[in-house]
Structure 1
Amino acid sequence: MSWIVVVICLLLVMAWYLSYSAARLDRLHAKVEGALSALDAHVVRRAEASLELANSGAIDPASGFLVAAAASESLERVNERTFESDLLEGQHFAGREGVESELTEALHAALPPEVSRDIETKGGPGAAALERVREAGLRVQLARRFHNEAVKEVQRVRAKRVVRLFRLAGYADLPQTVEFDDAQIGS
């Protein structure tokens, strides 16, 4: 009779542990989705600020054209996601890493440190737009790091034998890190 009580207690502890692990994994997946939404919003703000800087007249027309083209492409890629074929309902970066890296490269080409300092000393709308680009760029960096840390935590938990054996992740796709060049522009 006592062995039945021990078995029941072990089954209860195991059921609690599996339930706890599944709930934790669900919270981690929700954290990744929230982090990706935040990253997406910050990428949009960076593109909008870049477009504003390009149209401010603070940088030369050729550089302004390159920055505007890269920022416009970034905004277009954000808006072209098709939710019908997206099982995660928009909760992935949709292969936009290349576009975001191109925007970073265009900003670096248009804003070497001496041009940035010149814009700052002149002041006006160009300096304000430059500051918004810098702030948005910093937020993109932080959001991408936060997202990638959340993804690595999900990947670490999902690699556990218990999670795989009992399929605690269900049919959820394994989230992937987002890697693109998001280096800050010169000051």
Structure 2
Amino acid sequence: MPTVVWLVLAVLVAVLLTSWVTFTITRLDRLHARVDAAQAALDAQLVRRDAALLHVAETPTGGLPPAERTRLAELAGSALAARDVDGLGREGVENQVGRALLDLLEADGPTLAADADAELREAAARVQIARRFYNDAVRDTRSLRGRRLPRLLRLAGRRDLPDFFDIDDSVPAAPRRNHP
């Protein structure tokens, strides 16, 4: 009789362990899919922000001096060209775009037309949201992958550990009054 009890306990433990491993693998797959989707959304919003900056820089009625328009057009063009670059190179270019946007949108910056100001603010806000979603997905994935048993059992397979995307994407909250 005790052998049957041990056998039942062993089967129960095996079923529970298998269920946990299956649940954890499924969760890891979902988290990696979430990271991939959030990264695609972040890339799309970064491209949108860069394109908005390029549009404002190329618009003669945007309210910018010609030298500033040229500088911003070159910056936006280099950011659009660097969209396929991963790592710190991409973050550095996007930080430059963020600083340029911050300079444009601050109260002491050059006066922009109302539609250009609104376009840049909306694009910058979308980048903030997309970056937060991406970094949240990375945090959750790294947290689960950092636990002892998923690491020990190598439940993530050969997938790379996702990295955070940290850029300065701050934008002044209140729009200033613009001249038409």
Q: Give the TM-score category using the shorter length.
A: 0.7 to 0.9
Distance 2:136 2:75 in 1: 27
TM-score, normalised via structure 1 length: 0.84
Identify unmatched segments of 5+ residues in structure 1.
82-91, 120-125
1:67 Cα deviation (Å)? 1.3
Could you give the per-residue CA deviations for residues 78-117 of structure 1, whole angstroms, max 9, x where no partner exists? 1x55xxxxxxxxxx6674000001111222334431456x
CA RMSD of aligned residues (A): 1.8
1:55 Cα deviation (Å)? 1.4
Select the structure of larger CA radius of gyration: 2
Could you give the per-residue CA deviations for residues 10-52 of structure 1, whole angstroms, max 9, x where no partner exists? 1011001001001001100110110010000000000111111
Instruction: Please say if 1:54 is aligned against 2:57.
Output: yes
Equivalence map 1:68-83=2 (5 Å): 68-78=73-83, 80=84
AA aligned opposite 2:141: V
Could you give the per-residue CA deviations for residues 66-85 of structure 1, whole angstroms, max 9, x where no partner exists? 2111111111111x55xxxx
* Overall identity of the aligned pairs, in %: 37
Of 138-147 and 98-107, deviating more is 98-107
Identify unmatched segments of 5+ residues in structure 2.
176-180
Instruction: Please say if 1:14 is aligned against 2:1.
Output: no
TM-score, normalised via structure 2 length: 0.87
Of 143-152 and 177-186, deviating more is 177-186
Distance 2:13 2:147 in 1: 20
Aligned length: 169
Aligned to 2:71: 66
Question: Would you say the 8 A contact 1:49–1:132 is kept in 2?
Answer: yes
Q: Which 4+ runs in 1 deviate beyond 4 A?
A: none
Aligned to 1:131: 118
Distance 1:169 1:35 in 2: 19
Aligned to 1:123: none
